[in-house]
């Protein structure tokens, strides 16, 4: 097997914005750098909670598909600029817990759902949907297989992955669960498969649901999984074009 990294993505605010990268440095027992470093609670989430929290407490594409069309760019000072086809750009420092961020998100969030209420900083373990410091690894061949079944090309951004690999067979990423892999100078232990939600149904260009991804995964392969979560065992540099080795 010869596979390599073809794309790197992070999502500075959970569920709100994708950002492409060329290289990162992974750290043991830490999430993908800058990924889900912030999140936005909705008004129905419990107050006074700390640490990792379940995805149901946050704004995300499963409940508000328009959020899937947000892209992000992070400046050297940590400020995040958000872009959306229906909104003016917004640059914020999430650490200031800005009301402007909540106001910017509000028109993109369904009015019948609990409103955006507060910005929270992720704990050291991150704020992915997995309750441990995770890096998500996705397979371009699996995306092509799903796209072919659906009869439409699916954008990588639907699946909010960190590392995209090419050179594997479709769904071969599932065979890596329980094993270590080397990517660049880093080593990761693949922990579990990722079960998907309705966020993947939304087009990241338009924010409209236009693909029956979950229905097709279930009908075509008997599951609702796409990609795997891994934990960083040994830190190191990973870049687009880096090769992988399954240990």
CA distance 134 to 103: 30
Rounded (10°) angle between helices 140-150 and 213-221: 100
- Both 73 and 145 in one domain: the answer is no
Rounded to the nearest 5°, which phi and psi values hold at 108? -90, -5
Residue the block writes with tokens 């080593």: 187
Q: How large is the average pLDDT for residues 72-85? A: 96
Coil, strand or helix at 148: helix
- Both 112 and 144 in one domain: the answer is no
Given 121, 142, 171, the domain boundary residue is 121
Residue 1 pLDDT: 63
Given 121, 139, 162, the domain boundary residue is 121
CA distance 165 to 173: 9
Q: What is the per-residue pLDDT across 30-78, written as a single tens digit (0 to 9) for each? A: 999 999 999 999 999 998 777 889 999 999 999 999 999 999 999 999 9
Residue 240 pLDDT: 98
Q: What is the per-residue pLDDT across 154-173, written as a single tens digit (0 to 9) for each? A: 999 999 999 999 999 999 99
Number of domains in the chain: 2
CA distance 93 to 53: 22
Q: What is the per-residue pLDDT across 171-195, written as a single tens digit (0 to 9) for each? A: 999 999 999 999 999 999 999 999 9
Given 121, 138, 153, the domain boundary residue is 121
> Which is more confident, 97 or 20?
20
Domain that holds residue 78: 38-121
């Amino acid at each position: 097997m010869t596979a390599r990294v073809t794309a790197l993505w992070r999502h500075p605010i959970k569920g709100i914005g994708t950002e492409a990268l060329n290289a990162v440095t992974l750290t043991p027992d830490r999430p993908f750098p800058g990924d889900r470093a912030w999140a936005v609670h909705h008004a129905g989430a419990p107050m006074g909670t700390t640490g990792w929290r379940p995805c149901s407490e946050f704004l995300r594409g499963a409940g508000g598909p328009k959020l899937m069309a947000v892209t992000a760019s992070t400046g050297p000072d940590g400020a995040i600029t958000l872009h959306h086809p229906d909104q003016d750009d917004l640059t914020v420092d999430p650490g200031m817990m800005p009301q402007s961020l909540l106001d910017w998100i509000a028109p993109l969030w369904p009015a019948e759902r609990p409103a955006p209420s507060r910005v929270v900083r992720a704990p050291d373990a991150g704020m992915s949907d997995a309750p441990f410091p995770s890096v998500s690894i996705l397979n371009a061949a699996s995306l092509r297989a799903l796209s072919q079944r659906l009869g439409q090309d699916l954008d990588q951004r639907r699946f909010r992955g960190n590392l995209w690999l090419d050179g594997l067979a479709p769904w071969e990423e599932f065979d890596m669960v329980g094993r270590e892999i080397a990517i660049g100078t880093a080593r990761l232990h693949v922990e579990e498969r990722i079960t998907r939600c309705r966020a993947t149904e939304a087009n990241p260009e338009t924010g409209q649901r236009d693909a029956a991804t979950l229905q097709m995964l279930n009908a075509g392969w008997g599951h609702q999984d796409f990609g795997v979560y891994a934990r960083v065992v040994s830190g190191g540099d990973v870049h687009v074009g880096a090769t992988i080795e399954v240990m």
